[in-house]
Structure 1
Amino acid sequence: MKRIAMILSLALLASPVFAADLCSENLQKIDQSMQTTNRSETVQEQAMRLQEKAAQAQQAGNDKACVAMTEKALRLLKSSASNS
């Protein structure tokens, strides 16, 4: 029982660090994706808006919101690339 509690405690402590890393990584992926693939202007603008909001959330220390917005932008970019 103590082992399970310790594992859960470590997981909870590590999750903010993981979210911060994932946020930064996703922001870089968005940059790379926007530079390498042609997309419609609408998709580009939507992804850029999400990227800006994610960066603002990251600066405010809200890594969970940053991850959520970057993942949404990456899904948008991926779906538009597969539709082309």
Structure 2
Amino acid sequence: MKLSAIAGLFIAGALLTSPVFAADKDLCAGNLQAIKDFVTSQPSLPESSMNNIKADQEKAMAAQAAGNDKDCVEITSGLMTKMQIRNPTRN
């Protein structure tokens, strides 16, 4: 009885963690698109800021390509915060 209960917990845990990984993948892609939109809508950004954004964007895309959605989300979330500070009227 205990063995089947433990097995049930492992199965339930595996099923519950799957959507979390899918959410990271979607968040990564969404953040990358928002960053791309921000860059194209802000032509007056200083060159140094633009270079920093593009460097982080490339790191995030490399993480995404490697299947490391957690790192992609961390990098893009940091960029999103900086973008919000730079342009607080954006939602």
Give the TM-score normalised by the residue count of structure 2: 0.74
* Residues 31-42 of structure 1 mapped to structure 2, 5 A cutoff: 31-37=36-42, 38-42=44-48
Mapped pair 1:50 → 2:56: yes
Percent identity between the two aligned chains = 29
Q: Which has the higher helix share?
A: 1
Give ranges in structure 1 of 5+ residues lacking alignment: none
Higher relative contact order (CA 8 A, sep 6+): 1
Look at both structures and tell me which one has the larger radius of gyration over its CA atoms: 2
Mapped pair 1:63 → 2:69: yes
Give ranges in structure 2 of 5+ residues lacking alignment: none
Q: Deviations over 1:36-60 (max 9, x none)?
A: 1232222211111111000000010
Runs of 4+, deviation exceeding 2 Å: 8-11
Give the TM-score normalised by the residue count of structure 1: 0.80
1:81 Cα deviation (Å)?
A: 2.5
CA–CA distance in structure 1, aligned partners of residues 55 and 84 of structure 2: 16
How many matched pairs? 78
